[in-house]
Structure 1
Amino acid sequence: MYQTTLGEDELYHCPFEGGHQCKHKPTKLKCNYDKYVDSHLRPFKCKNAACSGARFSSTTCLLRHEREAHGMHGHGSKPHLCIFPGCERAVPGKGFPRRYNLFDHMRRVHNYTRRALPSEAELSGSRAGGKGARRKRKALG
């Protein structure tokens, strides 16, 4: 499938075009065509037996999965903890590897809405240790 030629319109067309799950638009770039094919075939597999052959469309997606699901590549911690007392995700080791996922959890599970980012005081309880703490840049001048 990766060996293809330009169509009459001088564009690459996804071989799954017209299928119910394909929303790819014709492209001028062969590299984009290859990504289209990868998104359908998902050629990258997780080798962990617990995943029963989970498949991914790119090495980036596979590496993120290995890092977050299996703690591989030096990223085993889940430092973003829920700020709601009593929540199972507020316990060290049960948090989220990504800050976005934490806020998504709080919105869905706790109906948390925010107009601005939580204060550092709120977040200080959601970080395991000081690792990953954000620091303001020094003002120039």
Structure 2
Amino acid sequence: MPEDFKPKRRLAAIVFTDIVGFTKLTAADQTKAADLLVKQRELLKPMVESMKGKWIKEMGDGLLLIFDTVTDAVECCIEIQKILKPIKHLNLRIGIHQGEILITENDVIGDDVNIAARIEPFSAEGGIAISNKVNDAIVREEIFETKYLGKPKLKGV
């Protein structure tokens, strides 16, 4: 890390994604699985960046993205699910949370990042799970429709 780099704290909308069934696909056909990761990157990275998001990193078949606003994050994730719907094997679960992050030179960390990661598995296949903080931020936006599914127990947070 360069000596002049200083990590920065800020509020962000934090997005985690995961490809449904990727482990099984990898076991069956590693080449197809690797091609799927390339396709995911080629389709989503330009889209995320054009919709005011920042592509932080890929973690296996998962993505970590951040946005300045919850609205930007939700709008982008809805578009992601729309464009991926017809693509075989590229079915995502998405989780979104809002909170404070620490931006390091090449990553983001913090309790709220961990919460976002724990929310994603509660999403339906092809769906988006959001935290109460995200819901509170978008509830007045008429363009979004949400459904309360209860409060899950988040492991380790």
Give TM-score, length-normalised by structure 2.
Answer: 0.22
Q: Which has the higher contact order (CA 8 A, sep 6+)?
A: 2
Higher strand share: 2
